[in-house]
Amino acid sequence: MKNILVLCTGNSCRSQIAEGYLRHFAGDTATIYSAGIETHGVNPKAILVMAEDGINISQHTSNNVDEYINIPFDYVITVCDNANEACPFFPGNVERFHQNFPDPAKATGNIEQVMDEFTKVRDLIKVYSENFIAAHIKP
Protein backbone atom coordinates (compact mmCIF):
# COMPACT_ATOMS: atom_id res chain seq x y z
CA MET A 1 0.00 0.00 0.00
CA LYS A 2 1.29 3.46 -0.95
CA ASN A 3 1.51 6.37 1.52
CA ILE A 4 0.58 9.78 0.14
CA LEU A 5 1.04 13.11 1.95
CA VAL A 6 -0.71 16.27 0.77
CA LEU A 7 1.06 19.36 2.06
CA CYS A 8 -0.20 22.95 2.23
CA THR A 9 0.54 26.04 4.29
CA GLY A 10 -2.12 25.73 7.00
CA ASN A 11 -3.77 22.34 6.38
CA SER A 12 -7.14 24.03 6.40
CA CYS A 13 -8.62 24.07 2.86
CA ARG A 14 -6.73 22.83 -0.19
CA SER A 15 -4.88 19.94 1.45
CA GLN A 16 -8.02 18.89 3.33
CA ILE A 17 -10.04 18.84 0.10
CA ALA A 18 -7.27 16.90 -1.66
CA GLU A 19 -7.08 14.40 1.20
CA GLY A 20 -10.82 13.80 0.91
CA TYR A 21 -10.74 13.24 -2.83
CA LEU A 22 -7.56 11.17 -2.85
CA ARG A 23 -9.07 8.88 -0.20
CA HIS A 24 -12.27 8.65 -2.25
CA PHE A 25 -10.53 7.77 -5.51
CA ALA A 26 -7.82 5.53 -3.98
CA GLY A 27 -10.17 3.48 -1.81
CA ASP A 28 -8.11 0.89 0.04
CA THR A 29 -5.13 1.08 -2.34
CA ALA A 30 -3.35 3.95 -0.54
CA THR A 31 -3.16 5.65 2.83
CA ILE A 32 -3.69 9.39 2.54
CA TYR A 33 -2.44 12.02 4.97
CA SER A 34 -2.58 15.79 4.88
CA ALA A 35 -0.53 18.31 6.81
CA GLY A 36 0.56 21.90 6.87
CA ILE A 37 3.72 23.83 7.47
CA GLU A 38 1.47 25.45 10.10
CA THR A 39 -1.95 24.35 11.42
CA HIS A 40 -4.97 26.62 11.02
CA GLY A 41 -7.83 24.18 11.70
CA VAL A 42 -10.12 22.70 9.07
CA ASN A 43 -12.05 25.48 7.33
CA PRO A 44 -15.85 25.03 7.77
CA LYS A 45 -16.43 26.19 4.19
CA ALA A 46 -14.16 23.39 2.92
CA ILE A 47 -16.22 20.90 4.92
CA LEU A 48 -19.41 22.36 3.41
CA VAL A 49 -18.32 22.27 -0.25
CA MET A 50 -17.03 18.73 0.13
CA ALA A 51 -20.33 17.63 1.70
CA GLU A 52 -22.10 19.13 -1.32
CA ASP A 53 -20.13 16.62 -3.44
CA GLY A 54 -20.81 13.71 -1.10
CA ILE A 55 -17.40 13.63 0.62
CA ASN A 56 -17.36 13.94 4.42
CA ILE A 57 -14.24 15.63 5.78
CA SER A 58 -15.88 16.87 8.98
CA GLN A 59 -13.75 14.54 11.12
CA HIS A 60 -10.44 15.61 9.54
CA THR A 61 -7.92 17.33 11.79
CA SER A 62 -5.37 20.00 10.96
CA ASN A 63 -1.92 18.46 11.41
CA ASN A 64 1.63 19.77 11.29
CA VAL A 65 4.01 18.10 8.85
CA ASP A 66 6.40 17.33 11.72
CA GLU A 67 3.86 14.81 13.05
CA TYR A 68 4.50 12.62 10.00
CA ILE A 69 8.26 12.84 9.66
CA ASN A 70 8.71 9.11 10.43
CA ILE A 71 6.14 7.82 7.93
CA PRO A 72 7.72 6.35 4.77
CA PHE A 73 5.87 8.34 2.11
CA ASP A 74 5.86 7.21 -1.49
CA TYR A 75 4.43 10.51 -2.73
CA VAL A 76 4.34 14.04 -1.36
CA ILE A 77 2.01 16.46 -3.15
CA THR A 78 2.33 20.17 -2.38
CA VAL A 79 -0.81 22.12 -3.24
CA CYS A 80 0.47 25.65 -2.74
CA ASP A 81 3.70 27.43 -3.67
CA ASN A 82 4.54 28.28 -0.05
CA ALA A 83 4.42 24.62 1.02
CA ASN A 84 6.46 23.63 -2.03
CA GLU A 85 9.21 26.06 -1.04
CA ALA A 86 9.10 25.10 2.66
CA CYS A 87 8.63 21.35 2.18
CA PRO A 88 10.92 19.45 4.51
CA PHE A 89 13.17 16.64 3.38
CA PHE A 90 11.61 13.19 3.57
CA PRO A 91 14.06 10.29 3.68
CA GLY A 92 13.74 7.38 1.31
CA ASN A 93 12.47 7.13 -2.21
CA VAL A 94 9.84 9.87 -2.07
CA GLU A 95 8.43 11.22 -5.29
CA ARG A 96 7.38 14.86 -5.04
CA PHE A 97 4.64 16.56 -7.03
CA HIS A 98 3.54 20.18 -7.01
CA GLN A 99 0.30 21.76 -8.15
CA ASN A 100 -0.49 25.27 -6.94
CA PHE A 101 -4.21 25.81 -6.37
CA PRO A 102 -5.77 29.20 -5.52
CA ASP A 103 -6.46 29.66 -1.80
CA PRO A 104 -10.26 29.81 -1.43
CA ALA A 105 -9.87 31.15 2.12
CA LYS A 106 -8.62 34.39 0.56
CA ALA A 107 -11.80 34.85 -1.49
CA THR A 108 -13.62 38.13 -0.99
CA GLY A 109 -17.15 39.34 -1.62
CA ASN A 110 -20.48 38.19 -0.32
CA ILE A 111 -21.02 34.65 0.94
CA GLU A 112 -22.21 33.45 -2.46
CA GLN A 113 -19.05 34.75 -4.16
CA VAL A 114 -16.83 33.20 -1.49
CA MET A 115 -18.60 29.86 -1.74
CA ASP A 116 -18.34 30.00 -5.55
CA GLU A 117 -14.55 30.28 -5.15
CA PHE A 118 -14.50 27.33 -2.74
CA THR A 119 -16.52 25.30 -5.26
CA LYS A 120 -14.21 26.28 -8.12
CA VAL A 121 -11.09 25.27 -6.19
CA ARG A 122 -12.77 22.06 -4.98
CA ASP A 123 -13.54 21.09 -8.57
CA LEU A 124 -9.94 21.76 -9.68
CA ILE A 125 -8.60 19.62 -6.83
CA LYS A 126 -11.12 16.86 -7.62
CA VAL A 127 -9.88 16.55 -11.21
CA TYR A 128 -6.23 16.62 -10.10
CA SER A 129 -6.85 13.98 -7.41
CA GLU A 130 -8.71 11.63 -9.73
CA ASN A 131 -5.97 11.95 -12.36
CA PHE A 132 -3.22 11.44 -9.77
CA ILE A 133 -4.76 8.22 -8.47
CA ALA A 134 -5.35 6.96 -12.03
CA ALA A 135 -1.74 7.67 -13.01
CA HIS A 136 0.14 6.58 -9.88
CA ILE A 137 -2.01 4.25 -7.77
CA LYS A 138 -4.42 2.52 -10.14
CA PRO A 139 -2.75 2.70 -13.57
Please identify which of the residues 48, 86, 87, 94 carries the catalytic annotation: 87
Give 31's pLDDT tier (boundaries 50, 70, 90). Answer: very high
**Is 139 within a domain?**
no
From 8, 47, 57, 76, active-site residue: 8
Of 59, 66, 58, nearest to 38 by C-alpha is: 66
pLDDT in tens, 43-73: 999 999 999 999 999 999 999 999 998 899 9
Q: What is the predicted pLDDT for the residue at 39? A: 93
Indicate whether 121 belongs to any domain.
Answer: yes
28: domain CATH number?
3.40.50.2300
Domain that includes residue 129, residue range? 2-134
The question of whether 80 is a catalytic residue gets the answer yes
Residues 75 and 65 sit within 8 Å (Cβ to Cβ): no
Residue 103 and residue 95: Cα distance in Å, rounded?
24
68 in any annotated domain: yes
**Residue 102, domain member (yes or no):** yes
Q: Tell me, yes or no, whether 77 lies in a domain.
A: yes
Question: Which has more confidence, 102 or 91?
Answer: 102
Q: Please give the model's pTM, rounded to 2 decimal places.
A: 0.95
118, 104 in Cβ contact below 8 A?
Answer: yes
H-helix or E-strand containing 122? helix 111-136
The verdict on residue 35 lying in a domain is yes
Q: Which of 30, 57, 80, 121 is catalytic?
A: 80
Residue 45 belongs to some domain of the structure: yes
Residue length of the chain = 139
Q: Which residues contact 32 (CB under 8 A, 6 or more apart)?
A: 4, 6, 19, 22, 23, 26
More confident position, 83 or 56: 56
* Position 20 in a domain: yes
Instruction: Please count the structural domains in the chain.
Output: 1
